[in-house]
Amino acid sequence: MQDTFFRRILNRFFFSILNSLRRFRIYNRLIVSFLLIIIIPNLIISYYSFNISSHEMDKIISSSTKRILSNIEQTIGERLRFYEKIAHSIYSDPEIIDLLIKCKSYSESKIKDQLLLEEYEECKKRIGNILNHMSPTQDINNLQIVSDYDQFVQIDSGGVKRGASVKDIESYTKSDNYIRALEADGSPIWVDTSREEGVYLVQPSETSYLGGYITLFRAIPDPAIGRNKYLGVIVINVPCRIFKDLVNLKNMYDENEVILLAGKTGIISIMNGVYRVNKNPDLIVLNEMYQQKEGSLIRKVSGTDNILVFRTFEKADMIIAYMTERNKILKGIYNVRNITVKVTLMCILCALILSYIVTKSISVPLNRLKKTIESVGESNLELEYVDDQKDEIGALGMRFNIMISRIKNLLDKLVESEVSRKSEEIRRKEAELNALQMQIKPHFMYNTLDLIRWNAIFAENGESTVSKMIAEFSNLLRFNTLRSNQLVKVNEEFEHLNAYVKVLKFKKELKFNVKIDLESDKILDYKITKLTFQPIIENTIKHGFIDMNKEGEIKINAYTSNEDLFIEIRDNGVGICKDRLESLNDELQNGKATGGSMGLRNVNERIKLHFGEKYGLNILSEERKFTSVIVHIPCVSD
């Protein structure tokens, strides 16, 4: 059972594909088929081979570059340890510690006399001399000690300040870097301050600020007090240029490849001396590398895909990254891809030529057969398709010739049958005409009713209810029988309605009034389908005024809108419940009606037949309040 269901689904899917393909010419189908057979496999092979090769190349580059970055990290570590040794010499120098203790005690002393101040300045000068002596002549921008109460800068033997000094010591001691140094508990920490400006004034001029440096901090603990108490913080500002030309890759993969040393604020240095203007990674890419700590990325830099292999230099909280343009590394792979594309294009060209030849061998005889078939007409059956080949198209042509021969025979028989049928139809029409001529003429009925009415008048010695009923019924019958047109004027339809209402009012238990309100008298000349109002009024009296304790009232309001005529027939009857109202409108819309609404459906269908589907009847109602039937027709006066 389940296999049958799936087989049915597959067959339906297969035939839907066949039907879709047959919308196109055979020539186009064959050409496209050949192209797809050639192009799709080549594209798939090219795509996967290129991606796999690119991925493998990325892995090889990433693996080999990581080893290089590890070596570079060791080289940088050796360079930074030189400065850490200087900091350690200061950190462990007993003379500096004694001098710092004295300076601290002087600063905390409440007695500020000249002698103490001179001693304090002498201690500062001695510390500055030691710092200047420990500082090498190059590769250090500044070497000093900063404490909560003062700073100690380099001072040469002539008493001139060297290096730099903190501009605002109060703000400096509250900075994150200073606090981090204190929290490191005497361990050295490196901080990327390469984007820092306006912090250190160059000595001795004090007219400019240091820039382009990284900073080493190390707190000096107070041995007299113990943990968490410090005499100051060693500050060494190292210029970023020390990393320049630190690495020589010798064009490992690409002449534009670079080795970056970057901090959280940006690039600190290009370590292999290759500068690419406006082609360095932005902070977003740098932050992404910081988060991953180690690995490789392919990111766009200045609109070009670049490979970035990186690792975190934990000691200094910096990133060492190798970067090069991906398309230059994959140049060989791109060449393979281009060759594949060229081969594919050549295959496509060959496929086009082959498919053209094969397709022509099919389409040319088919077109000949098609033109022969198109030439067939009622007066042109003397045709024959000639094809000496014995393939499927030749066999089809032979069957076509047999079919034409049979059609000629069938047409001859059909002509004979049609002549016989026409003769029979003429005889039937003549019989119907004779039957119509034998029918009773309508004016005979009117004369008979008029004779009965006058006899009733003579019998009653004047007009009576019976004679009036006969007169009104005669008027009603005259409208129904004498007018054969399907469209009448609105005025004539109102006259017919008036006659119909008068006949109904002879029934004593029927008590109702009809009021007509026109927007303008011009409405009376518009055309409407014959016998439109009578079924609606009949339906209203039959269903709307049942079990009413008050007199029925029917209001007819005619008005125009957007070149359409609307005639609303509204009663004050019992109304229609919501479900029944929806059912009635659906029946009118779908052309289905139950016994109680056959008259309304007949009116609705005749309106749609004459004026179009957008016109017809619509019913509105509210239970126990009213029912309204709206006739919608176009404004037609001719």
- Indicate whether 443 belongs to any domain: no
Q: Confirm whether 18 is domain-assigned.
A: no
Q: Is the pLDDT score of 521 beyond 50?
A: yes
> Which tens digits make up the pLDDT trace of 270-283?
776 665 656 778 88
Least confident of 36-40, 394-398, 567-571: 394-398
Give the CATH number of the domain where residue 544 resides: 3.30.565.10
Q: Is the pLDDT of residue 455 over 60?
A: no
User: CB count, 10 Å around CB of 456?
Assistant: 19
- 334's tokens: 């791109």
Verify that 538 and 563 share a domain, yes or no. Answer: yes
Alpha helices in 196-320 (DSSP H): 283-292
Q: Is residue 384 part of a domain?
A: no
Q: Give per-residue pLDDT as tens, 428-448.
A: 544 443 444 444 445 445 555
Residue 324's pLDDT is: 79
Q: In degrees rounded to 5, what are phi and psi of residue 502?
A: -60, -40
Indicate whether 422 pLDDT > 90: no
Of residues 128 and 454, the one with the higher pLDDT is 128
Q: Which residues of 543-553 are buried (b: 16+ CB within 10 A; e: fewer)?
A: ebbeeeeeebe
- Return all residues near 129 (Cβ < 8 A) that are at least 6 apart: 155, 156, 157
Residues 6+ apart with CB under 8 A from 465: 506
Picking from 239, 258, 274, the residue at the C-terminal end of a domain is: 239
Averaged pLDDT for residues 329-343? 73
Please indicate, yes or no, if residue 16 is contained in any of the structural domains.
no
At residue 445, the pLDDT reads 52
603 pLDDT exceeds 60?
yes
Cis geometry, peptide bond prior to residue 221 (ω within 30 degrees of 0): no
Q: What is the pLDDT of residue 629?
A: 92
The per-residue pLDDT for 125 is: 92
Residue 113 is part of which domain span? 93-239
From the list 295, 255, 341, the residue with the least C-alpha distance to 50 is 341
Average pLDDT, the chain: 78
Are 210 and 266 found together in one domain?
A: no
For residues 248 and 230, state if they share a domain. no
pLDDT at 449: 54
Whether residue 298 is contained in a domain is answered as yes
CA–CA distance from 399 to each of 368, 371, 375, 444 (Å)?
15, 16, 17, 68
Positive or negative torsion for Cα 154, 156, 158, 161: negative
- Helix-helix angle 442-459:465-482, to 10 degrees: 170
pLDDT value for 551: 83
User: Tokens 């076509």 appear where?
Assistant: 400
103 and 185 assigned to the same domain = yes
336 occurs within a structural domain: no
Do residues 181 and 219 lie in contact, with contact meaning Cβ atoms separated by under 8 Å? yes
- pLDDT of the residue at 325: 78
Q: Do 205 and 233 belong to one domain?
A: yes
* Same-domain pairing of 583 and 616: yes
My answer on whether 533 and 590 are in the same domain is yes
Contact indicator for 209, 202 with CB cutoff of 8 Å: yes
- Nearest residue to 354 (alpha-carbon basis) of 33, 42, 21: 33
Do 235 and 283 have their domain in common?
Answer: no
pLDDT digits over 460-500, tens only? 555 556 656 666 666 656 555 555 456 888 998 888 888 88
d(CA 506, CA 473): 11
pLDDT tens digits, one per residue of 201-230? 998 877 889 888 899 999 999 887 766 788
pTM: 0.48
Residue type, 489: K
Q: Is 38 helix (H, G, I), strand (E, B) or coil?
A: helix
245-264 mean pLDDT: 69
- Return the percentage of the chain with pLDDT > 90, whole number: 15
Shared-domain flag, residues 255 and 156: no
Please tell me the total count of domains within the chain. 3
Kindly state whether residues 139 and 260 are assigned to the same domain.
no
Among the residue ranges 31-40, 250-259, 296-305, 526-535, the one predicted with the least confidence is 250-259
CATH number at residue 262: 3.30.450
- The more confidently predicted of residues 85 and 13 is 85
Give the percent of the chain with pLDDT over 70: 78
Q: Does 345 map to a domain? A: no
Kindly state whether residues 524 and 562 are assigned to the same domain.
yes
Average pLDDT over residues 597-614: 82
Q: Which of the pair, 370 or 569, is modelled with greater confidence?
A: 569
Q: Which long-range contacts (CB under 8 A, 24 or more apart) does 620-624 make?
A: 620/581, 621/575, 621/576, 621/581, 622/575, 623/574, 623/575, 623/576, 623/577, 623/578, 624/574, 624/575
Last residue of a domain, one of 239, 265, 286: 239
- Predicted confidence at residue 634, as pLDDT, reads 93
Among 200, 219, 239, the domain boundary falls at 239
Alpha-carbon distance of 56 to 68, in angstroms, equals: 19
Per-residue pLDDT, 593: 57
- Report yes or no on 500 lying in a domain: no
Q: Band the pLDDT of 390: cuts 50, 70, 90.
A: low
pLDDT tens for each residue of 6-47: 777 877 777 777 677 667 776 677 777 777 777 787 778 777
pLDDT value, residue 431? 43
**Domain co-membership, 167 together with 256:** no
Q: Counting every residue, how long is the chain? A: 638
